[in-house]
Structure 1
Amino acid sequence: MSEWTGTFTARARFDPSKSDPRSICLFDTHPENRFTLFGMRSSTKERAMRELDQKDREILAILSKEARIPLKTLAGRIGLSRSATGERVANLEKSGVIRGYRADIGQIDSNIIRAMILVSLKRTPALGLLDELARHAEVRRVSSVSGQLDLIVEVEVPTIDRLNRLRNVLATHETVEDLTTAIVLRRDIERENA
């Protein structure tokens, strides 16, 4: 790289094409005369819009397993200062990458019956069906899927009788064409989010 000396009038702008999200590009009147300065502070919005780097991914991996980890401990694990780590976490929250922190509730009662109700619909969208499902505390997850099925409804109920009552509510809904219930005998493999 040759050294350049002299003066020129330039305009500056944030350059998202650079690998360093803090880079600022300077242009003189010719596009080929382009200079990049590093270490300039970018706005919160610009930092939030950048792609995730390795440190961000490390933060997400740790927080997905230990959401209540103290910031000081998190910073030590990823090799950054507490303030830099806090800023990164705040940016991940502001940009919507981290949408919240939740309690992962384990099985409280060993007598709980888990089942999957596989639903085929007459038409989509199933107006009102998701609202109906949301009213039942036993419904743990509803997933829209492709293929012959339309919905997979995961439930946890205390008794077979309660499962049948929930099935009957779904079966009589105007948008449901058919449903099949599969009771979970055991979970052979269960992974935490990575």
Structure 2
Amino acid sequence: MDAIDRAIVALLQSEGRITLTDLAEKVRLSVSRCQRRVRELEKAGIIRGYRAVVDAAALGYGFQVLLFATLSRPDVVPEFDAALIEIPEIIEAQRLCGEPDYLIRVVSADLASYQHLYESILIHLPGVRGLNSTIVMKQAVHPRPLPGRPPRVVTGARLNEV
């Protein structure tokens, strides 16, 4: 990826509905060259899709929980992952290193709805040894685009020197 690709990605992250003509103008390319680069970024999996940012509370999902899951055995990971995908209230899940095994973001209408989901589905997920729920009080930083500059690579330096 060069600087133009990074500029394209940055613009598409912040302005997902930008026209190809406007995008090309902002990165100083012809429309055809810009379109080619966007297609290559998509083909390479750098751009994985396009979506609208939606207000969850406005759609009735005003209650969010961070759920930490610990599994009983490592061999249940594929089955657990497959089960998570089937639950629409789970909007994000990450496999972690160490304990707990997963961080899962869950949305629901309210505490009662979450409790029902927890008791009827979540505690019965394959291989669950333990679940710990933390209620989200406030979204301090909303999901935002990745930084436009390349990540800093640190080699051989101590953490406090960076």
Name the TM-score class by shorter chain. Answer: 0.7 to 0.9
* Residue number in structure 2 paired with 1:137: 88
Instruction: Output the CA distance in 2 between the equivalents of 1:123 and 1:174.
Output: 10
Correspondent of 1:163 among 89, 114, 122: 114
What is the RMSD computed on CA atoms of the aligned residues?
1.8
Instruction: Output the CA distance in 2 between the equivalents of 1:88 and 1:127.
Output: 35
| One-letter identity of the residue aligned with 2:106 | V
Q: Deviations 1:162-192 (Å, cap 9, x if unpaired)?
A: 2112222222334111111000000112241
Q: Deviations 1:4-50 (Å, cap 9, x if unpaired)?
A: xxxxxxxxxxxxxxxxxxxxxxxxxxxxxxxxxxxxxxxxxxxxxxx
Pair 1:92 & 2:41 matched: yes
Task: Give how far 1:57 is off.
Answer: 0.5
Correspondent of 1:181 among 120, 125, 133: 133
Instruction: Output the CA distance in 2 between the equivalents of 1:79 and 1:96.
Output: 23
* Residue number in structure 2 paired with 1:58: 7
Correspondent of 1:120 among 46, 49, 70: 70
Q: Which runs of 5+ in 1 are unaligned?
A: 1-51
Moved over 3 A (4+): none
Instruction: Output the CA distance in 2 between the equivalents of 1:173 and 1:88.
Output: 42
Q: Deviations 1:111-145 (Å, cap 9, x if unpaired)?
A: 61111111011112434323332222211111111
Instruction: Output the CA distance in 1 between the equivalents of 2:32 and 2:126.
Output: 55
Q: Which runs of 5+ in 2 are unaligned?
A: 147-162
* Residue number in structure 2 paired with 1:32: none
Instruction: Output the CA distance in 1 between the equivalents of 2:61 and 2:46.
Output: 36
Asked which structure has the greater RCO (Cα within 8 Å, sep 6+), the reply is: 2
| One-letter identity of the residue aligned with 2:82 | D
TM (normalized to structure 2)?
Answer: 0.79
| One-letter identity of the residue aligned with 2:98 | G
TM (normalized to structure 1)?
Answer: 0.67
Percent identity (aligned): 28
Using a 3 Å threshold, how does the CA distance of structure 1 residues 109 and 96 change in structure 2: closer, same or farther? closer
Correspondences of 1:12-31 after superposition (within 5 Å): none
